[in-house]
Chain A
Amino acid sequence: MAERSFAREVRDLELGEGEEFRGEGILALTKALLQSGVGYVGGYQGAPISHLMDVLSDAQELLGKLGVQFSTSASEAAAAASLSASMMYPIRGAVTFKSTVGTNVASDALANLASSGVTGGALIIVGEDYGEGSSIMQERSHAFAMKSQIWLLDPRPDLPSIVKSVEDGFQLSEASSTPVMLELRIRSCHVHGSFIARDNKRPPYTLAQALDQPVRDVNKIVLPPASYVQEKEKIEKRWPAAVAFIKEGKLNETFDGDLADIGIALQGGMYNGVMRALQRLGLADIWGKTRVPLYVMNVTYPLIDDELAEFCASKRAVLIVEEGQPDFIEQSVNTILRRRDINTRLFGKDVLPMAGEYTPDVMLNGVRAFVSAAAPDALADADRAPNQPAIADDPRVKALAGAVPPRPPGFCTGCPERPIFAAMKLVEKELGTHHVAADIGCHLFSILPPFNIGASTMGYGLGPASAAAFNVPSTKKSISFIGDGGFWHNGLTTSIGNAVYNKHDGVIVVVDNYYASATGGQDVLSSRADNASRSTKHPITKAVEGVGATWVRQIDRTYDVAKMRDTLKEALASKEPGPKVIVASSECMLNRQRREKPLFNKAVKGGQRMVRERYGVDEDICNGDHACIRLSGCPSLSIKRTSDPLKDDPVAAVDNSCVGCGNCGEVAEAAVLCPSFYRAEIVHNPSRLERFAARIRAGVIGWLQARRAKRMPVCS
């Protein structure tokens, strides 16, 4: 069960000819796939393309009706490999994943696919996770396109352009026998807009037909001598075919302007940013009219030499707007112009930064520098050298630096992963720090305050693998983490199998919260829920034992901090050879709350006896050291100032968002913090007997309390 329900969005996928689709970029793209007669879709979830997977997952019925096959791939490599169905058969296929991390994983299959070439259109939709909000290393998918000769589309970031690029991509792929990569940046994936829909199309040739009449062609298989022939074909046949298709179909766009002797050549995805910069300089308006001619590359690979030469030839100077590095496009354009001896001056990474996102001000400064140098008369004095007092220089605004705290993401309220790291911290307090290899997933938040645990991340499912070298006799073992998501992605072999085979004497903690949670709570093989369309409930311990691990411990309630701590200590002390694997399992609290809360509320309303737990802090006893917070970081465990004149520092306080997971009480107990935590069990709709017993207790307790209060010289 994914984090969000896409029931409404599924309805949007059924819109017909002429109806208006309103919604997110990534969902518009999903609709475009169905409109283009796609035969199968696969992928691996991850921001910013998770919603594509989630909405299709919720749309099984519609997909069944249309005859579209949908797989939730085990990894990006599995997704990319599935495109082989388009190699011999005229079936359109699309896969999607986060890039560049997903493309890294998928690159083996992608390279083989690109060498073999395709018959049906093959579309790789990558969510380019670059710039603000990104959670990965800052690289470009462009390099993958170039190295394997996969065409790269980078459409303008509005819904009609994105939708059009899907149909263009399939046709381009079929026209040139080459897979096509469609790149969407984070904000384009999440942009809300509208486009006019067309009817969905059943795939004209089906997978069942392919299975009935299998076709093979040894020349399509990547083995010598075919592989040499394939490389030649890439250059001699597929490339020219692609160039011809792009030119004829006018996939790239030119926008004329009256300042005809300068121009800007840009990636399609940069269009809105460039237009806003021009508008701020008085050179464009909001309706798309521009004074500076633009050449918009909706296809950024291959470049169309003739179009670029023609655009530049009549101009004194051209600015290349290409986000990220290296400057592949700028270098290519230089070659194109030199070969033809066209002496247009090129601007690019000299006025714009080589690295980093092209935010509005970065773009403004770059475009301003270009126009100032190339056509200074086009700018008004105020635009050329703005002289505005910046509010940022006001001392009152500068003072914010000392007050506004950084707010990185962290574990949610009640997260079952928090107690695992609280236990780790207790182990470290006792036994000293260890080398801790982290992995990708929510559990990576352990590297941030208050836990500060984890020294490296090498990739999804690679946590334990990244500790492989530390397999030497030492007084301390290495500890590595891996999530259930990473475990099934590739970790079972790459991390666990690897450690077993090499007799790795280290501790591996598998953080199992029943879902791939960081990507939106999708099911994985070990999920405990029933899933009508997928096979679940395959225990991680069984898999681990299956590849030969012998020291395996299953913890079924991670909130038991003391047990978690003791199991870690036991693993660190164990003399048994090979990896010591601890599978720490408790359900992701976001998913659990979403499932249980409505049921709970309904039961309470219906008069059933229900018990709700939550935690609290006795402010009289708390003396404001915040040791509990340093072992928790729970959003609901906060602090508050008190009116007690004898207390200087704020005391701990649990707010109403507490879900009663128990971590703070367990930690206070295991770490011997202080007795100020309490658990409150609130009994809704108690039975009559219970009420009666409660009245008796309250009577006796009240009498004792009153008796003591009377003897006190003061009572506050």
Chain B
Amino acid sequence: MNAEPARAALDTTRPLAIAVMAMGGQGGGVLVDWIVALCEAQGWVAQSTSVPGVAQRTGATVYYIEVLPLPAGAPEGLRPVLSLMPVPGEVDIVIGAEFMEAGRAIQRGLVTPDRTTLIASTHRAYAVIEKQAPGDGIGDSNTVVAAAEAAAKRLVAFDMAAAAEDSGSAISAVMFGALAGAGALPFAREAFEAAIRETGIGVEASLRGFALGYERAKAPVAPPAAAPAKIAPVIASPGEGYAALLARARAAFPAEAHDMLAAGLQRVVDFQDLAYGEEYLALLGGILRLDNAAKGHALTTAAAKYLAVAMAYDDVFRVADLKTRASRFARVRDEIGVPEGEIVHTTEFMHPRMDEVAGSLPAALGRFIERRPALFRALDRVVNRGRRVKTTTLRWFLVLYVMAGMKRFRRGTLRHQNEVAHRDAWLARVMDAAPRDYDLAVELVNNRRLMKGYSDTHARGLSKFDRVMTAAATLEGRPDAAEWVRRLREAALKDEDGIALDGALKTVDSFLH
């Protein structure tokens, strides 16, 4: 045991430390300038630093501030020695301008339970690696919530991007308001507002954003918005025939499947007609006969979903129909926020190829062309071109409208025959497997998720689907077959070129041989 060293002469004052975690272009610099101006106006000493560099081009970056008051009666010229980098474990306030950036602050050790107030916006700006996955690559915000609860002394969190939009302001102003509302700095609200007024740029908007941030910071933590609930569409006024069909479906199928069934039935009838809905129910009925109540009718529920997706494929009639609906026109106006009285024109980017055209022809004619590669190529040269379609002009609207109306001929098209053949082969595999390995059958249904996109994307999806289905055949009979098929599918959704799938297939190969 050593004697306590002579510390008496040393002052134990510490500065108040603030770290701002932001993305380039989010206005983190503006926020930092306000905080510095605020503290200096209160007679405090303030030092801020940043490392903008290339990070200002949308990358993650950290701003760091240390502030403190000079002691009473301080000699002239007394200046503190402040750190230029955030010190893990010694940061009093962390402001996360985006939720994963708040998570990054926790990861870096800047948020600690003994002292840190974490002020975080719960909104997400997805990083490229989250967006580019062919499946769902979004990081789980709840992980940040849990980590914040563990690491922060106090958490102030709400959607500041939404608040900025609501107040017609920028997120920096809302964050500054949240900082004031959190009460982590010993200054009055008016002092914060004075700092905004001092800059003289966009003062009114910033004050609105500030006010909203201030108010929301006082409210209990608002957790990040959950994914929207999957809602079976509610039909405002279904035709009589549809109402009867739906009622029949409800009577014939178990309750667990009802929600998905309603969504699926609506989709296929909307895609074609009531008869197509009957066809859907008939096919699904075949699956139901193989299902197991003890398993919660998982097979029927899964099939209700993916059978509808398979039956309501995207062809030219479908696209033309969706693009010309009144509901779509309304959605566009809503999404881009067009003020009343202003005009919107929409232009679609379409690129039909001979494949799509041949698919839309009567099956015999389509096949005739398909079997003559030279003819097919010649026609493709005429057809295969990017076309910009101005849906809001009468001419183009009519073209699409008529094309949408031609869906009544759909059943006779080449595309439909091909889709039906593929669908039936898939269902046959499912129905074949179900009696022997129920769980595997469910996974075979779910594999339909791999097929999506158009043209090359569709071809890649189809190839992944085929590879997983082939592997499933070799796995059948093993107790863990279902689990492995699930893993293969997850891998296939990870990247475009199927690199993860290749790896997973190799693993499967290694224990099969």
Interface residues of A (CB under 8 A from B): 22, 47-48, 129, 132-135, 157-158, 160, 186-188, 190-193, 258, 271-273, 275-276, 280, 282-289, 291, 359-361, 376-381, 388, 390-392, 394, 396-397, 399-412, 429, 442, 445, 448-450, 518, 562, 614, 616, 618, 620-621, 623-627, 629-630, 633, 635, 637-639, 641-646, 648-650, 656, 665-666, 668-675, 677-686, 690-691, 694, 697, 700-702, 704-706, 708-709, 712-716
Q: Which chain A positions have C-beta within 8 A of B79?
A: 158, 160, 287-288
Min CB–CB distance A447 → chain B (angstroms): 12
Contact between A191 and B49 (Cβ–Cβ < 8 Å)?
A: yes
Distance (Å) between the CB of B60 and the closest chain A CB?
A: 4
**A397 x B233 contact (CB < 8 A):** no
Chain B neighbourhood of A704, CB < 8 A? 324, 397-398, 401
Q: Which of B123-161 contact A (CB under 8 A)?
A: 125-136, 138-141, 143-144, 146-147, 149-151
Given contacts A191-B49, A412-B57, A620-B328, contact A276 B87 (CB under 8 A): yes
Q: Given the complex, which residues of B lie within 8 Å of A639, measured CB to CB?
A: 126, 130-131, 138
Q: CB distance B80 to A408 under 8 Å? A: no
Contact check, A287 vs B78: say whether CB atoms are below 8 A apart: yes
Q: Which of B87, B132, B263 contacts A626 (CB 8 A)?
A: B132
Is B2 in contact with chain A by the CB < 8 A criterion? Answer: yes
Query: 8 Å CB contacts to A: which residues of B87-104?
Result: 87-90, 100-101, 103-104
- Judge whether B269 and A638 touch: CB under 8 Å: no
- The answer, among A390, A625, A645, A681, for a CB contact under 8 Å with B260, is A645
26 contacts between A and B (CB under 8 A): A158-B81, A273-B83, A284-B10, A361-B88, A377-B5, A380-B5, A396-B151, A402-B143, A405-B126, A407-B58, A407-B101, A411-B57, A412-B25, A562-B386, A616-B332, A624-B136, A626-B131, A629-B128, A650-B136, A666-B349, A675-B349, A683-B342, A686-B343, A697-B393, A714-B238, A716-B327
A286 touching B274 in the complex, CB below 8 Å, given contacts A190-B52, A391-B113:
no
Contact check, B84 vs A273: say whether CB atoms are below 8 A apart: yes
Determine how close the nearest CB of chain A comes to the CB of B61; give it in whole angstroms. Answer: 7
Residues of B within 8 A of A403 (CB): 100, 103, 139-141, 143-144
Q: How far is the CB of A301 from chain B (nearest CB, A)?
A: 23
Q: Which of B87, B128, B461 contacts A360 (CB 8 A)?
A: B87
Q: Complex: how many Å from CA A282 to CA B401?
A: 79
Residues A272 and B82 in contact in the complex (CB < 8 Å), given A518-B54, A614-B336: yes
Smallest distance from the beta carbon of B43 to chain A beta carbons, Å? 13
Hey, which chain B residues are within 8 Å of A715, CB to CB?
235-237
> Cβ of B82: which chain A residues have Cβ within 8 Å of it?
272, 286
Q: In the complex, which of the residues A405, A656, A686 contacts B139, with contact meaning CB atoms closer than 8 Å?
A: A405
- Of B12-20, B358-366, B436-444, B503-511, the one contacting chain A is B12-20
Complex-state Cα separation, A288 to B329, whole angstroms: 67
- Stretch of B214-222, B414-422, B450-458, B467-475 lying at the A interface: B450-458
Stretch at the interface among B224-232, B288-296, B423-431: B224-232
CB distance from A700 to the nearest CB of B (A): 6
| Contact (A650, B138) CB under 8 Å given A680-B346, A713-B239 | yes
Residue from the set B88, B324, B405 with the largest chain A CB neighbour count within 10 Å: B88
Q: Is the CB of B324 within 8 A of A705?
A: yes
B166 contacts A by Cβ under 8 Å = no
Contact A714 B149, beta carbon cutoff 8 Å: no
- A713 CB contacts on chain B under 8 angstroms: 238-239, 241-242, 269, 273-274, 277
In the bound assembly, the distance between CA atoms of A708 and B398 in angstroms comes to 13
Q: What sequence of 0s and 1s flags, for each residue 94-120 of chain B, a beta carbon within 8 Å of any chain A beta carbon?
A: 000000110110110101110000000
Whether the pair B132, A618 counts as a contact (CB closer than 8 A) is no
B48 touches A679 (CB 8 A): no
Docked-complex contact A623 and B129, CB < 8 angstroms: no
B349 touches A679 (CB 8 A): yes
Expressed in whole angstroms, the Cα–Cα distance for A681 and B78 within the complex equals 60
Is the CB of B4 closer than 8 A to any CB of chain A? yes
Inter-subunit contact A665/B349 (CB<8 Å):
yes
Given contacts A191-B47, A670-B386, A686-B343, contact A133 B241 (CB under 8 A): no
Per-residue CB contact flags for chain B residues 63-82 toward chain A (1 = under 8 Å, else 0) read 00000100000000011111
Please tell me which one of the listed residues B274, B308, B344 contacts residue A646 in the complex, with CB atoms under 8 A apart.
Answer: B308
- Nearest Cβ on chain A to B275's Cβ, whole angstroms: 10
Contact B270 A409 (CB under 8 A): no
* Interfacial chain A residues near B386, Cβ < 8 Å: 562, 669-670
Contact present for A716 and B235 (CB under 8 Å): yes
Asked whether any CB of chain A lies closer than 8 Å to the CB of B351, the reply is: yes
B340: A residues at CB distance < 8 A: none
Docked Cα-Cα span, A653 to B326, in Å, equals 20
Known interface pairs A360-B88, A390-B109; A668-B496 also in contact (CB < 8 Å): no
Provide the residues of chain A in CB contact with B106, threshold 8 Å.
Answer: 391, 397, 400
Counting chain B residues whose Cβ lies within 8 A of the other chain, the interface size class is 35 or more
B55 within 8 A of partner (CB): yes
**CB of B482 closer than 8 Å to a CB of A:** no
**Chain A residues whose CB sits within 8 angstroms of the CB of B55 once the complex forms:** 133, 409
Q: Which of B90, B138, B147, B332 contacts A680 (CB 8 A)?
A: B332
Contact A679 B347 (CB under 8 A): yes
Interface members, chain B 317-351 (any A CB < 8 Å) = 319, 322-329, 332, 335-338, 342-351
Chain A residues, CB < 8 A from B252 = none
- Please name all residues of chain B whose beta carbon is closer than 8 Å to the beta carbon of A276 when the two chains form the complex: 81, 83, 87
The answer on a CB contact under 8 Å between B51 and A132 is yes
Q: In the complex, A232→B485 CA distance in Å?
A: 78
Cβ-defined contact, B242 with A409, below 8 A: no
Chain B, residue nearest A190 (CB): B50
| Chain A residues, CB < 8 A from B133 | 626
B357 within 8 A of A: no
Residue of A nearest to B25 (CB): A412
Task: Tell me whether B196 is interfacial, beta carbon within 8 Å.
Answer: no
Interface residues in B229-273 by Cβ distance below 8 A to A read: 229-233, 235-239, 241-242, 259-260, 263-264, 266-267, 269-270, 273
User: In the assembly, what is the distance between CA of A680 and CA of B277, in Å?
Assistant: 35
Q: Are A623 and B49 in contact (CB under 8 A)?
A: no
State the CA gap A406–B79 with chains docked (Å).
38
| B23 interface contact, C-beta 8 A | yes
Distance of A623 Cα from B450 Cα, bound (Å):
11
Could you tell me the distance in whole angstroms from the C-beta of A518 to the nearest C-beta in chain B?
Answer: 7
Given contacts A407-B59, A709-B326, contact A392 B109 (CB under 8 A): yes
Question: B209 at the A/B interface (Cβ < 8 Å)?
Answer: no
Determine if B353 is an interface residue (Cβ-Cβ < 8 Å).
Answer: yes
User: A388–B140 Cα gap in the complex (Å)?
Assistant: 29
Check B335–A400 contact: CB distance below 8 A: no
Q: Which residue of B lies closest to A638 (CB)?
A: B126
Contact with A along B277-311 (1 / 0, CB 8 A): 10000000000000000000000000001001100
Q: Is the CB of A360 within 8 A of B332?
A: no
User: Which residues of A sit under 8 angstroms from B233, Cβ to Cβ?
Assistant: 716
Q: Besides the contacts A643-B229, A673-B457, what 6 more A-B pairs have beta carbons closer than 8 Å? A: A186-B53, A404-B143, A648-B135, A648-B136, A649-B135, A683-B344
Q: How far is the CA of A645 from the CA of B13 in the complex (A)?
A: 58
B449: chain A residues within 8 A (beta carbon) = 648-649
Chain A nearest CB: distance from B203 CB in Å? 16
Chain A residues in 8 Å Cβ range of B378: none
Q: Across the two chains, which residue of chain B brings its CB closest to A625?
A: B453
Which residues on A sit within 8 Å (CB–CB) of B11? 285-287, 289
CA distance in complex: A623, B305 (Å) = 14
B1 located at the interface, meaning its Cβ lies under 8 Å from any Cβ of chain A in the complex: yes
B49 and A625 form a contact (CB under 8 A): no
Is B24 at the interface (CB under 8 A from chain A)?
yes
In the A-B complex, the 3 residue pairs with the closest CB atoms? A133-B51, A409-B59, A669-B386
In the assembled complex, the CB of B397 is this many whole angstroms from the nearest CB of chain A, namely 5
A249 to chain B, nearest CB (A): 20
A675 contact set on B, CB distance < 8 A: 319, 323, 348-351, 454
* In contact, A410 and B131 (Cβ under 8 angstroms): no
For A649, list chain B residues within 8 Å (CB): 134-136, 449, 452, 493
Beyond A276-B87, A646-B267, whether A377 also contacts B51 by CB under 8 A is no
